[in-house]
Structure 1
Amino acid sequence: MNQSAKRQTKAKIVSAAWKLFYQNGYDDTTIDDIVEASGTSKGSFYHYFRTKDDLLASLSYLFDDKYTELDSTMDPALTPLEKLIFMNRELFLMIENTVPVTLLCQLFSTQLITKGERHMLDPDRVYYRRLRQIVMEGQKDLLFRADLSVNDIMKAYAMFERGMMYDWCLSSGSYSLCQYSQQILPLFLKSLCRQA
């Protein structure tokens, strides 16, 4: 099996698992359910994941799939700030509509205690590659402050998004993550921009 086919198989498993977790709950979803819904085999499942719990760390892969999907729907004429706001809105809508807040909490807790790979921080993620492109475009257009590097802006933005998700988890999803972020994100982004 080539690399592309392997990625597609893993993506099918992850996507099916998270849909089932949302529909049926994590505890009521079995590995057999995931295998059946993904149209893969138990061998494929165990090739990528040792247990169902290992899927908790895969949520960031689902996020990256969303960013890849947004490539075809995002208007290239948007400014870098508009692109960041668009990406944030679409991701947070997806989280609100497909990710149980309890599982997002578990993702954060597993990333805090893991001694191995922390995929959420992997600089090769689609998320960081898209973010880097947009920030570099903003730097080229003299939109962002000159005293901040591309990495400084990327780190600040990623921390903002993680902080929003973390607060939403602490609040047990009691407010709209997307709506609140759409109010606060423009204010945050303004702090990264050159003053007119």
Structure 2
Amino acid sequence: MNLGSTAVSLGGITFGTIIVVLVLLRWHKKGGGGGGKKGDDGGGSRDWKQLLPFFGALCFGILAVLAAGPASALGLITRFSLWGGDSIGTLYLVYGIGGTSPDATRAAPVILSPGGYAVFAIWAAVMIGLYLWSKKLPRLQTLLGILAGILLGLSQGIAGMAAVPLASAVNAAGSWYAGVVQ
């Protein structure tokens, strides 16, 4: 894979899936082995709301890889993340496990409308602001969510299929936003 490419291999998708699985595993284990309520397991809990920042970041990463143009700052960050994550995943599959890593990029990329880009730009500013100023936001978990989204957003599978309704929702919000501000 070259740095300017917007393609993902099975290794990249595998690495993105590993990130999601490990975050879920850590969340589950942090909650303790048996209890689901605070106090039952020595103070930990498996409150699903703790995963919201991760899944918000995951969705952001999915849209980032679809929306970012190659000549933009977001495009450079996204392509570098895609290249790095895909390379790590491919190395893991090929040299760590002994398998292969064929191309697994979806046939038709999802495109945002002009209003969708405006809504995504607002979402990007919110993500940056939350990352910089939030004391409660799990920063590493957020970065991992964005990376996993970037790696999974171009896939043909479930996460790739999630990109279509996600982009459609952002485009619908963008149509509303463009209608309000114009």
**TM-score using structure 2 length:** 0.28
Q: Which structure would you say has the larger RCO, counting Cα contacts within 8 Å and 6 or more residues apart?
A: 2
Give the structure with the larger helix fraction.
1
Q: So what's the TM-score if we normalise by structure 1?
A: 0.27
